[in-house]
Each structure stands twice: as C-alpha cells, then as structure tokens.
Structure 1
Amino acid sequence: MTKKTLLYQTENELTVEEFASLLRRSTLGERRPVDDESRLASMLRHANLIVTARDGDLLVGVSRALSDFSFCTYLSDLAVDSAYQKQGIGKELIRRTKLAAPMAKLILIAAPKAVDYYPRIGMTRHDHCYTLEEVENLR
C-alpha cells in the first residue's frame, strides 16, 4: 500500500457503524463487543476525546479516550485498520490524543498483540496497574 495523506481530527460524534467496522478491520475487534451496538454506542457516548484518522471518507484509525484534561487521560481504544498498519498512524493518534490534553498523563492497557509496540514508540511500562472485572471479586 502506498503512503497516503490522511486526515486526522477530533471527532466526538463518531457513528457506531463506523466504529464497529474499524474495530473488525483491526486486531482490537477480537476484544471488543463489536456485535453489541448498544454497548458500542455507550462506549462512544461516554468517551470525551476521540481522535480519528481518515483516508477520504474511510475511517482507518481511532483513539477513544476519557480525559479530565488536567491529570489523566485513559486511552481505552487504539485501533488501526490492518491494511493501514505500520505507517505510523497509531503513533500519530497517540500524539494527537496527548496534545489534546497536554497536562494529563496518558495511560493505557496494552492489548496482548501490542505489548511490544508501545515501548518501541517511547512509552514507559508501568508495573502497578490493576483491573477489576466484577465487583464480587472485591474482598
């Protein structure tokens, strides 16, 4: 694939259909509820910082984040269409997400296939992250 000029922009009104399509065309679709439109709609509605990459009208990349714009930005989803990977799109989406909230530390949990990607682009690994799937697991 030849290098194209992509349009990057903040796009907080992304449609569920476009988001689901991109997730399916990326490796992130394996770990997201791509067949649950109401859940995807809620994910988009409650994100307050969505940066996109488009090739014409085609959505080829997305950074979906939640930020207080002062202390922390949680980058929940970073997805790039498999046909567009290895062109720097993910890195540019991260850069633009960080620039949208420059005082906030950018935080993410790496997908298993992306664990080696983030250190290569200059991000620092943090060993003190914890997750809780079910409230019943609290003791």
Structure 2
Amino acid sequence: MEIQYSTDKRPTTDQIIELYDNAGLPRPTHDKERMQKMFDHSNLIITAWYKDLLVGVSRSITDWVWCCYLSDLAIRDEYKKEGIGRKLINMTKEKVGEQSMVLLLSVPTAMEYYPKVGFEKLENSFIMHRAEWK
C-alpha cells in the first residue's frame, strides 16, 4: 500500500470531519464552520492519502523558529499501526527545523503512543480550558 504525503494537497472540510470521526479524535466535528476555521488558521498541515482517501493529517501552528504546536494528529482507524502517524510527526519536525520544538496536548488514549515516537512527557505545563462546545 503506497501512502502519499503532502503539504500542498488540502482536504475538504467534509474529508477532515469524516477522518476525525473515524479516528476518534475529539473535536467539534458537528460544527463545520469551526472545523474549517481551525484549518484556515493553521500554518502547517501535512496530509496522508491512499489514492483519493484521506488516511491521516497533522495540523500545526508554528512560528518556524522557536515552537510548533502539533494541535491534531489523526489517523484513519483501519490505517493505524502502519507508521503513518510517525511519518507525519517526522515530517512536521523536519519542516519546522532544528531550532523549533514540537509540543502537543495528548488525548488520554494516546498517552502511551507519544513516548514511542520520540516525545518526552513533561510535568511543567499549564492550561486554561475553553468553554465546552455544544
């Protein structure tokens, strides 16, 4: 199976919503406008495709020289364990370069995954939660 990776090929909002729902990524997928804005305001998006099927995406916000927040990593359920997530993370790190750190907030189900692909778990972060979406 040949997976094609791209920083240029943008998925439609419907493709993104379908992928996130399939991957179990908790995002406001019922709110198409909000999902579109999330992608419109991101400055590093890498996609993974099997033919015309969106099978993975990494969505980041970065300044390119200090930090990169990897806000979403979604892999289609039936394509997990194929190395797609690792490849998307490595491409993200490659794109932002050596000067930039890559950081993220993990969903509870992925807490054991990220150390396996090179992330270090830290205890020095803080968060102000958003209002829950409805």
Q: Fold-level match, TM-score > 0.5?
A: yes
Partner residue in 2 for 1:93: 88
Partner residue in 2 for 1:132: 128
Identity of aligned residues (%): 37
Does residue 39 (structure 1) correspond to residue 34 (structure 2)? The answer is yes
Length-normalised TM-score, structure 2: 0.92
Does residue 117 (structure 1) correspond to residue 113 (structure 2)? The answer is yes
Q: Distance in 1 between matches of 2:22 and 2:78?
A: 8
**3-state secondary structure, aligned to 1:19:** helix
Length-normalised TM-score, structure 1: 0.89
Q: Distance in 1 between matches of 2:130 and 2:51?
A: 41
* Cα pair distance change 1:134/1:26, threshold 3 Å: closer
Q: Tell me, which stretches of 5 or more residues in structure 1 are unaligned?
A: none
**Matched pairs, number:** 130
Q: Post-superposition shift, 1:25? A: 1.0
What one-letter code is carried by the residue in structure 2 that aligns with 1:100? K
Q: Post-superposition shift, 1:122? A: 1.9
Partner residue in 2 for 1:17: 14
Q: Post-superposition shift, 1:45? A: 0.4
Q: Distance in 2 between matches of 1:112 and 1:9?
A: 28
Q: Post-superposition shift, 1:8? A: 0.6
- Asked if the contact 2:59/2:71 (under 8 Å) is kept, the reply is yes
| Correspondent of 1:65 among 60, 83, 97 | 60
| Correspondent of 1:77 among 61, 72, 75 | 72
Partner residue in 2 for 1:51: 46
Deviations 1:81-135 (A, max 9, x none): 0000011100000000111111210000111000000111221111111110259
**3-state secondary structure, aligned to 1:8:** strand
Cα RMSD (Å): 1.4
Q: Post-superposition shift, 1:12? A: 6.8
